[in-house]
Amino acid sequence: MTDSKELLAQVRDVSTDSEYFSPIPKGYRKGKTKYVIVMGTVMSGLGKGIFSSCLAKLLQDKGLKVSPVKFEGYLNVDSGTLNPFRHGEVFVLDDGMECDMDLGTYERMLDQNLTRANFCTSGQIYSSVLNKERHGDYLGRDVQMIPHVTGEVKLKLRRLAMDSDADVVFVEIGGTVGDLENAFYIEAMRELAYEEGPHSCCFVALTYILEPKTLGEQKSKAAQLGIKQILQLGIQPDILACRCENPVSEQARQKISVFGNVPFERVFSMHDSASIYSIPSMLRDCGLDFEVLKLLHIEDRINLRNERREWARWCDFTDKIGKETHAVTIGVTGKYTSVRDSYASILNALEHSGVQLLCKVKIKWIETTDITDANAAEHLRDVDGIIVPGGFGTRGTEGKIACVRYARENNLPYLGLCLGFQMAVIEFARHVCGLTKANSTEIEPSSPEPVIDILPEQKKIEGLGGNMRLGGRDVELKPDTLAWRIFGRAETVRMRFRHRYEVDPRYIETLEKHGIVFSGKAPDHPIMQILELPGHPFFVGTQSHPCLSSRPLRPHPMFVGLIAAARQRHYPKERLADPETAVRKVCELDEQGQETLQR
């Protein structure tokens, strides 16, 4: 079988007489790619992805090619079915992979579009191993956690190293070292370091320093016990990153250093910061980036001239944080507002735009479940703009529609994302077009006026059973519209999608006749993807999730436009740049359109 021949070419020895089994892709060169492996102790959610992405950025600035990968312990094949209340935001990559929100952190920090090769779950690993077993690829061996499951993990890493041509692969293992579902990942990392040889891997343990207010001092015992678990698994950490609300004291770091057998200069205080974009400076100031270079013996690969240029660009951005001259309040009218991580990309996109416009963005969380036309003003009168974000299901949708109506009738800057686009269509159809029973078939399956629906022809077009449009798609822009202008007069722009329902083409003519402009659509198909209302200060909706492709140095034009319009509303007596001018200035868009935005 072809699969068996391919596997034979990838392994050292697959006979039943040998205990060696370590799949190696054809052409893989040991020593070319180094690995930085980040693990957590004590508790999850400490910021492994933030630490890993910030360290990766410092090496990237030095001219090294870096590629991250996130290993998750759950058995889901991807993150698409996870509830935001349980796991935060589902981040969608350009190739359509639904993954963990940490992939968004890597994309933003590294300004890099990632792929499904940068995300892996236990479900993916087990599925691959079982498929190979069914095809006879293990040549009669009994399939075990070691060496076959751990071998599959190493194979994925080595393939990523080859395909990305990376100098350094950053490996983040989700959860903590005490989690049963992560044990085979950690064992695979121990084996990887053994097989790749000295100076091939740098192990980082992220831990937590307790600071009980009743005691008034920092306690490192929980951190010590977590480090002990790592040592018991056969791994000696090279770097210890200590999370804490305040800077970790020298005494606590000394204790951790002695207990973990890690030099003091590699025990880093990763205390709370006003912005995650300040953390690269914290790492750089204590020389952690050069410690990694020395551990991996790759000092000779760096380009200091490139580092000076890239670091200057980064500092131009971070120097503006905390120096804002204006402030606005944006209402986020959602249904998952009790879990802020559900809207992580939106919060980051707002921060990117606010910093570039020297405008501090305050967030007002508005749960839409109990909002109606009668009380919408109570919730929205003190905001300068609103975002109606995406979501699934019927709960809170009528409240979102009430918020859209208030924004339209009161000239309140509005940005609707995915479900927010659909709610804007429904609201306009009901209250402007006279289609009083307009709705979405997601909300009301038997709606007599389904302005939002799953269309039979779309099921054929997408080839996904009409289930979900996922990933990056080109959007064709209509000339002489707001969307066309804020995207630099480009003919098309690429945006990311994650939705099932569309505007029913039967209602497009009616909606346009009453004033909606559909300024973006799918090329060659009647699928509306951007809408706007001429004459309104800023009323834009999109089926896409523009927050997923916003970056610190390249904020997304839709968010820049929203903040600029909100700033104009808050400071009506000042001469401030209108949304179009602000976008052009911040995003450096030229007559050719997307060159800077999509670099």
44-79 pLDDT, tens per residue? 888 899 999 999 999 999 999 999 999 999 998 888
Q: Do both 372 and 312 map to the same domain?
A: no
Cα–Cα nearest to 407, from 458, 345, 464, 333:
333
In the Cβ-directed half-sphere of 421, how many Cα atoms lie within 13 Å?
29
Predicted confidence at residue 355, as pLDDT, reads: 95
pLDDT category of residue 216 using cuts at 50, 70 and 90:
confident
Where is pLDDT greater, at 469 or 444? Answer: 444
Question: Is the separation of the CB atoms in 427 and 451 below 8 Å?
Answer: no
Q: Do both 184 and 288 map to the same domain?
A: yes
580 lies in a domain?
A: yes
Q: How far apart are CA 534 and CA 536, in angstroms?
A: 6
Cα–Cα nearest to 173, from 303, 30, 36:
36
Last residue of one domain, picked from the residues 317, 348, 363 = 317
Q: How far apart are CA 109 and CA 55, in angstroms?
A: 10
**Mean confidence (pLDDT) of the chain:** 89
531-575 pLDDT, tens per residue? 999 999 999 999 999 999 999 999 999 999 999 999 999 999 888
Q: Do both 313 and 342 map to the same domain?
A: no
Over 80: is that where the pLDDT of 459 sits?
no
Q: Do both 289 and 355 map to the same domain?
A: no
pLDDT category of residue 217 using cuts at 50, 70 and 90:
confident
Over 50: is that where the pLDDT of 373 sits?
yes
Over 70: is that where the pLDDT of 207 sits?
yes
Q: Do both 220 and 151 map to the same domain?
A: yes
Q: Do both 384 and 312 map to the same domain?
A: no
pLDDT category of residue 124 using cuts at 50, 70 and 90:
very high
Cα–Cα nearest to 471, from 114, 95, 183, 71:
95
**What is the CATH classification number for the domain harbouring 294?**
3.40.50.300
Q: What average pLDDT does the segment 446-468 reach?
A: 69
Q: What average pLDDT does the segment 492-518 reach?
A: 94
Distances (CA, A) of 532 to 34, 226, 384: 49, 53, 18
Over 60: is that where the pLDDT of 10 sits?
no
Over 60: is that where the pLDDT of 8 sits?
no
Over 90: is that where the pLDDT of 483 sits?
yes
Report the greatest alpha carbon distance in the chain: 83
pLDDT category of residue 589 using cuts at 50, 70 and 90:
low
Q: How far apart are CA 198 and CA 204, in angstroms?
A: 16
Predicted confidence at residue 392, as pLDDT, reads: 75
Which two structure tokens, joined as six digits, stand for 474? 């080109």
**Max avg pLDDT among 74-88, 204-218, 447-461, 500-514:** 500-514
Q: What percent of the chain stands above pLDDT 70?
A: 91
Last residue of one domain, picked from the residues 257, 287, 317 = 317
pLDDT category of residue 461 using cuts at 50, 70 and 90:
low
Predicted confidence at residue 45, as pLDDT, reads: 81
pLDDT category of residue 13 using cuts at 50, 70 and 90:
very low
pLDDT category of residue 228 using cuts at 50, 70 and 90:
very high
Q: Do both 152 and 88 map to the same domain?
A: yes
Predicted confidence at residue 213, as pLDDT, reads: 84
**What is the CATH classification number for the domain harbouring 382?**
3.40.50.880
597 lies in a domain?
A: no
Over 90: is that where the pLDDT of 315 sits?
yes
Helix locations, 332-439, DSSP H? 344-356, 376-380, 397-409, 419-431
Question: Is the separation of the CB atoms in 229 and 177 below 8 Å?
Answer: yes
Q: How many other C-beta atoms are found inside a 10 Å radius of the C-beta of residue 465?
A: 9
Last residue of one domain, picked from the residues 317, 346, 374 = 317
15 lies in a domain?
A: yes
pTM of the model: 0.91
598 lies in a domain?
A: no
Q: Worst-scoring range by mean pLDDT, 210-214, 305-309, 443-447?
A: 210-214
Question: Is the separation of the CB atoms in 344 and 104 below 8 Å?
Answer: yes
Residues near 520 by beta carbon (within 8 Å), at least 6 away in sequence: 475, 476, 477, 478, 483, 493, 528, 529, 530, 531, 542
Where is pLDDT greater, at 90 or 168? Answer: 168
Residues near 315 by beta carbon (within 8 Å), at least 6 away in sequence: none
Q: Give the total number of structural domains in the chain.
A: 2
Question: Is the separation of the CB atoms in 519 and 478 below 8 Å?
Answer: yes
Question: Is the separation of the CB atoms in 383 and 331 below 8 Å?
Answer: yes
pLDDT category of residue 464 using cuts at 50, 70 and 90:
very low
**Domain limits for position 165:** 2-317
* Cα angle 25-30-36, degrees, rounded to a multiple of 5: 100
Predicted confidence at residue 526, as pLDDT, reads: 86
